[in-house]
Structure 1
Amino acid sequence: MKAYEFSTHISSDGKIELPEYLKLLTNASEVRIIVLLKEATDTTDDEGFSVESFRTSWQQALTGNTLPLSELWEGIEVD
């Protein structure tokens, strides 16, 4: 399966508008749709990630301020 990502809106009658380049793909018999809705509490930009969170994480990675993978789940119980 090939993935295409794009931003669009859902019309008042519930239809999703596809970009023109996807309308040209006629040989696809099956598609998979994932709908991500921005919540009121989201502090992300239009690309779907928090710029400030990325900057903080990137700085931590550059300075070695990270945890070993073996310690990431310490204290978390999984049923």
Structure 2
Amino acid sequence: MKAIETTGIVNPQGQISLDEPLMVESGRRVRIVVLIADESETDPDDDPIETVREGIRQGWHEAMTGQTYPISQLWDGIDGD
């Protein structure tokens, strides 16, 4: 079994509308688990999809334009104590 995590919104009829289409074979049966956050519950790792996309675009742009650092420099200045 393959797992796909995505987000969506429940409409007034109780149907789920996904934020992005699933890239699976049409007509295929799926099993769905719905996780609903409490009103007061916020997940600091649950960034909006557009925020995530923009971060990926920026990282890709930096990589393609040579705005990178050697991995050996990533640990410079980090105190291991």
The TM tier, using the shorter chain, reads 0.3 to 0.5
Structure-1-length-normalised TM-score: 0.45
Higher relative CO (Cα under 8 Å, sequence separation at least 6) belongs to 2
Structure-2-length-normalised TM-score: 0.45
